[in-house]
């Protein structure tokens, strides 16, 4: 039983740490969606006012600024997870995580450089398809967000075990505490960066080797193409799936006079500009279909499965991310809300995405699928006879319905912790000024100031670790948090809704002012 409790607690810590790192993405998604609308060429053709230079500049600033966050989510995960896991002086853990990440990137770059394996960027594609990426200006192995997540958890674990280290010899005292944590992490980060250069490339080559089979396997290959393009997103390996088809001869070629178009993307745009019928290579561009339409069903299921009192807040949080996916084809903010926390949903997501790519091909759809507004404008201009876009939108409605039904069934069957399925939040926000919320009564119910070892929070819960669970006044705690109380060993969780973070900050301030005395 204790082993099961430890596993459950570890999984809960993993999920809350991941969500903590993603806390800013709903706001970033709102700005990104607004920028995508203002900067949309397709929408500009419908609403000429959007071509006004100041508006276009504002849209580009908003879009590019938020994309800088999306493109560096690995850094965000590394710093955010480490800060969340730190038991004290979280800002120190965050700084150490950032420094460690720089060491990790540089170790990978130096190893590749010394081995003569640094890839040369393609003039058109940059580093896409090479298995390497430029992160914070440093070229290294492309691990997607996986490297940042691993390093974030490693930093948090090491920091909690080393930040209290002291050295007796006077000359060495300066290297104790958080400096010792940094020294430990510097060595581990360098080792991890070195190892990535040997461990990750074979994985990349295995994925890259699938592309030949995919191209020759007909509809089964197309299904696997769509499945892997979604499922591999957290690892960064999805680039190795779609890049060869969209930008090399594997995706087809088109020769018109002296002009040769190579790759599914170039062929599609060449056929569009010349008014030619679309060729079969357009099937490799179908990955935009799920990004544009499928996430409506996913978000709808999340909102529907949320607790009734949480649905409005869940919708407010997810709608900007949905707009970002549908308008700008940037799905990572939504993907990372459930890909790690609910693997069964993530696998279902890949299956549905792949299956509908096959359906589009079998139905003879040759329409633009990337971006809701831009694809609609291009489909209208190309005409229904060339694109069969009416059938595209019928299949889009079907995909939305399939996502909604499948995700709803899986969430409810397995009681998955998707957004909004936390314990009910109180009708009246409790995070009020100190003189209105009884913080001192809360401290007393927790056994007194001396019994409180650590205070933290997740999205909706205040989490407190106590020295002696026997000193807890559970009756008083239930009165202070009537919407949810959980006591597991030394950990106490009190449900306060989305105001949990604000309440935790105020409680920290109260604890700092309260004299530390032994528990009574």
Per-residue model confidence as pLDDT tens digits over 325-374: 998 888 988 998 888 878 999 999 999 999 999 999 999 999 999 888 88
pLDDT at position 364 is: 93
* CA-CA-CA-CA dihedral for 227, 228, 233, 239, to nearest 10: -130
222 located within any domain: no
7 located within any domain: no
Please list, in sequence order, all residues whose beta carbon lies within 8 angstroms of the beta carbon of residue 294, skipping any fewer than 6 positions away.
Answer: 349, 352, 353, 356, 399, 400, 403
- Same structural domain, 390 and 345: yes
Pairing of strands 259-262, 253-256: antiparallel
- Let me know: does 494 contact 477? Beta carbons within 8 Å: yes
- Let me know: does 207 contact 229? Beta carbons within 8 Å: no
Please list, in sequence order, all residues whose beta carbon lies within 8 angstroms of the beta carbon of residue 43, skipping any fewer than 6 positions away.
Answer: 37, 50, 373, 374, 377
- Same structural domain, 351 and 239: yes
- Same structural domain, 51 and 121: yes
- Same structural domain, 68 and 187: yes
384 located within any domain: yes
Name the residue with tokens 């720089």: 102
CATH number for the domain that contains residue 490: 3.30.1360.60
pLDDT at position 425 is: 42
130 located within any domain: yes
- Same structural domain, 456 and 335: no
Task: Single out the residue of 493, 500, 491, 498 nearest to residue 437, CA to CA.
Answer: 500
- What six digits make up the tokens of 36? 């995508």
431 located within any domain: no
CA angle centred on 466, ends 158 and 436, rounded to 5°: 115
- Same structural domain, 168 and 20: yes
**Count of alpha carbons within 13 angstroms of residue 171, beta-carbon side:** 0
Sign (positive/negative) of CA torsion 369, 371, 376, 379? negative
Please list, in sequence order, all residues whose beta carbon lies within 8 angstroms of the beta carbon of residue 144, skipping any fewer than 6 positions away.
Answer: 74, 233, 234, 235, 236, 237
- Let me know: does 437 contact 506? Beta carbons within 8 Å: yes
Largest CA distance in the chain: 89
- Same structural domain, 61 and 115: yes
pLDDT at position 294 is: 97
Question: Total domain count for the chain?
Answer: 3
Is residue 458 part of the annotated active site? The answer reads yes
Residue 440 sits at φ, ψ, to 5 deg, of -65, -35
483 located within any domain: yes
18 is in which domain, residue-wise?
Answer: 12-207
d(CA 222, CA 349): 15
Residues of the chain with pLDDT under 70: 1-13, 15, 19, 40-47, 50, 422-436, 459, 483, 498, 515-520
368 located within any domain: yes
Tens of pLDDT along 457-469? 776 778 888 888 8
- Give the H/E segment covering residue 10: helix 2-21
- Same structural domain, 198 and 233: no
SS3 content of the chain, % helix, strand, coil (to 5): 70, 10, 25
SS3 366: coil
Pairing of strands 259-262, 138-141: unpaired
SS3 87: coil
- Same structural domain, 123 and 176: yes
214 located within any domain: no
**Cβ-based burial of 413 (10 A; exposed 0-12, middle 13-18, buried ≥19):** exposed
Name the residue with tokens 């807890």: 472
- Let me know: does 265 contact 128? Beta carbons within 8 Å: no
pLDDT at position 434 is: 45
d(CA 359, CA 367): 13
- Let me know: does 265 contact 247? Beta carbons within 8 Å: yes
- Same structural domain, 125 and 195: yes
Task: Single out the residue of 73, 105, 79, 76 nearest to residue 92, CA to CA.
Answer: 79
pLDDT at position 43 is: 59
3-state SS of 385-433 is HHHCHHHHHHHHHHHHHHHHHHHHHHHHHHCCCCCCCCCCCCCCCCCCC
């Amino acid at each position: 039983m204790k082993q099961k409790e430890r596993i459950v607690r570890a999984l809960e810590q993993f999920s809350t740490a991941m969500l903590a790192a993603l806390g800013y993405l709903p706001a970033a998604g709102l700005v990104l969606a607004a920028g995508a609308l203002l900067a949309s060429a397709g929408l500009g053709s419908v609403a000429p006012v959007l071509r006004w230079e100041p508006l276009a500049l504002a849209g580009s600033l908003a879009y590019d600024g938020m994309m800088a966050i999306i493109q560096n989510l690995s850094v965000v995960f590394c710093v955010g997870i480490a800060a969340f896991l730190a038991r004290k002086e979280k800002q120190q853990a965050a700084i150490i995580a950032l420094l460690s990440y720089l060491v990790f990137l540089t170790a990978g770059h130096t190893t590749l450089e010394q081995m003569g394996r640094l890839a040369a960027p393609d003039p058109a594609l940059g580093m896409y398809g090479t298995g390497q990426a430029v992160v914070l200006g440093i070229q290294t192995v492309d691990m997607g967000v996986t490297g940042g997540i691993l390093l974030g958890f490693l930093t948090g674990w090491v920091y909690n075990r080393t930040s209290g280290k002291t050295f007796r010899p006077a000359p060495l005292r300066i290297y104790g505490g958080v400096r010792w944590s940094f020294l430990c992490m510097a060595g581990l980060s360098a080792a991890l960066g070195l190892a990535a250069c040997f461990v990750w490339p074979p994985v990349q080559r295995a994925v890259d080797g699938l592309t030949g089979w995919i191209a020759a396997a007909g509809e089964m290959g197309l299904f696997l193409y769509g499945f892997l393009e979604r499922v591999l997103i957290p690892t960064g390996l999805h680039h190795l799936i779609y890049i060869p088809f969209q930008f090399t001869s594997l995706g087809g070629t088109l020769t018109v006079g002296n002009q040769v178009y190579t790759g599914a993307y170039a062929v599609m745009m060449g056929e569009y500009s010349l008014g030619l019928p679309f060729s079969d290579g357009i099937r490799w561009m179908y990955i935009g279909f799920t990004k544009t339409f499928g996430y409506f069903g996913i978000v709808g299921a999340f909102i529907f499965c949320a607790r009734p009192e949480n649905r409005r807040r869940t919708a407010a949080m997810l709608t900007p991310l949905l707009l970002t996916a549908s308008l700008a084809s940037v799905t990572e903010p939504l993907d990372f809300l459930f890909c790690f926390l609910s693997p069964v949903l993530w696998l279902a997501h890949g299956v549905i995405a792949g299956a509908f790519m096959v359906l589009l091909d079998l139905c003879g759809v040759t329409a633009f699928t990337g971006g809701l507004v831009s694809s609609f404008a291009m489909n209208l201009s190309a005409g229904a006879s060339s694109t069969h876009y009416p059938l595209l939108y019928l299949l889009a409605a079907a995909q939305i319905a399939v996502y909604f039904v499948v995700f709803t069934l899986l969430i409810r069957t397995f009681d998955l912790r998707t957004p909004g399925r936390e314990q009910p939040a109180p009708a009246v926000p409790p995070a009020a000024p100190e003189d209105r919320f009884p913080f001192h009564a809360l401290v007393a119910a927790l056994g007194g100031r001396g019994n409180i070892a650590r205070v933290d929070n997740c999205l909706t819960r205040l989490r407190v670790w106590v020295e002696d669970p026997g000193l807890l006044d559970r009756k008083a705690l239930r009165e202070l948090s009537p919407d949810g109380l959980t006591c597991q060993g030394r950990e106490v969780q009190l449900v306060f809704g989305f105001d949990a973070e604000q309440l935790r900050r105020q409680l920290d301030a109260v604890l700092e002012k309260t004299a530390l005395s032994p528990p009574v």
